[in-house]
């Protein structure tokens, strides 16, 4: 079942601008993760935020988590052409019954 739902489905911005993607989910979670996928290849883990954390940074990435609203956002600052990819949020619901539950992703295009 799809738990995480990303918004927007597609985003096109100019190089150097910031990109913000949002994710909503439905049940309680242990953690929420963001992954990047380039052109139908494997997924690359970007960042993991636990349910008791509110914000996390990694390089140009900033992730926030609001468990009361069951939502998360991923901010990529100073975007580069190499950031062009699909971005997925994934939730661990706990108990591990369904593995990681992925959203449908946001396709980000960085215009040079």
Partner 1 sequence: KAGVTQTPRYLIKTRGQQVTLSCSPISGHRSVSWYQQTPGQGLQFLFEYFSETQRNKGNFPGRFSGRQFSNSRSEMNVSTLELGDSALYLCASSLGISGSYETQYFGPGTRLLVL
- Min separation Cβ 93 and partner 1, Å: 9
d(CA 49, CA 15): 27
Q: Whose Cβ is closer to partner 1: residue 18's or residue 58's?
A: 58
DSSP, residue by residue, 58-98:
ETTEEEEEETTTTEEEEEE-S--GGG-EEEEEEEE-STTTT
Q: Figure out which of the listed residues 56, 62, 104, 107 binds partner 1, where binding follows CB under 8 A.
A: 104
Place of tokens 């799809």: 2
Q: Check binding of 44 to partner 1 (CB under 8 A).
A: yes
Q: Figure out which of the listed residues 9, 16, 45, 80 binds partner 1, where binding follows CB under 8 A.
A: 45
Measured in degrees and rounded to the nearest 5, phi and psi for residue 81 equal -55, -35
Instruction: Return residues touching partner 1 (CB under 8 A).
Output: 1-2, 30-31, 33, 35, 40-45, 48, 88, 90, 92, 94, 96-105
């Amino acid at each position: 079942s799809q738990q995480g739902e990303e918004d927007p489905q597609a985003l096109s911005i100019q190089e150097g601008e910031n990109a913000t993607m949002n994710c909503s989910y439905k049940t309680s979670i242990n953690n929420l993760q963001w992954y990047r996928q380039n052109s139908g290849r494997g997924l690359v883990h970007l960042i993991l935020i636990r349910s008791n954390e509110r914000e996390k940074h990694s390089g140009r990435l900033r992730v926030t988590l609001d468990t009361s609203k069951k939502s998360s956002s991923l901010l990529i600052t100073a975007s580069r052409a190499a950031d062009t990819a699909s971005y997925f949020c994934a939730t661990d619901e706990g108990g591990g019954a369904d593995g990681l539950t992925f959203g449908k992703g946001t396709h980000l295009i960085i215009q040079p």
